[in-house]
Amino acid sequence: MVIDSISNGIVIDHITSGKSMVLYRYLNLEKLTCSVAIIKNAPSSKNGKKDIIKIDELIDINVDMLGYLDPGVSVNIIKDGVIVNKFQPELPERLIGVIKCKNPRCISQEEQELTHIFKLTDREKRIYRCIYCEAGSSAVN
């Protein structure tokens, strides 16, 4: 299989095998008009298999969301066919508008214009708590 290289865009690499479609949906990549390639179950020397997403355009991506959904990913920014920046998102200290509080009594459920905000309370266990009601939410596995 041949997937062309990109001259200007983003490559999200080292995605946990099988998670590329989750990232695709959360990042709203279906709304893009540029080419987006999803490579599933590519060989990986580190983990056996991995997924890769290639976006053929430089766009703003929600790095906090990537760090929350799959903190092992690496992001490559490519300009003129050269990687100009490479980084690994970490679990963010705060999640703003990424997940919603599941507590039906939380003020964020009743006030529709109130942004859902969670703070990281346990990095090792990947646990976030709503800043309004302290309801917990584990990071997506």
CB 111 within 8 A of CB 124: no
Q: Are strands 36-44 and 48-55 parallel, antiparallel or unpaired?
A: antiparallel
CB 108 within 8 A of CB 114: yes
17's enclosing H/E stretch is none
pLDDT, tens digit, 9 for 90 and up, residues 54-90? 999 999 998 888 989 998 899 999 999 999 999 999 8
CB 113 within 8 A of CB 132: no
CATH architecture, domain defined by 94-138 = Roll (2.30)
3-state secondary structure at position 63:
helix
Locate CATH 3.30.70.140 in the chain.
9-87
CATH architecture, domain defined by 9-87 = 2-Layer Sandwich (3.30)
| pTM for the full predicted model | 0.83
Locate CATH 2.30.30.20 in the chain.
94-138
pLDDT, tens digit, 9 for 90 and up, residues 28-46? 999 999 999 999 999 988 8
Residue type, 53: I
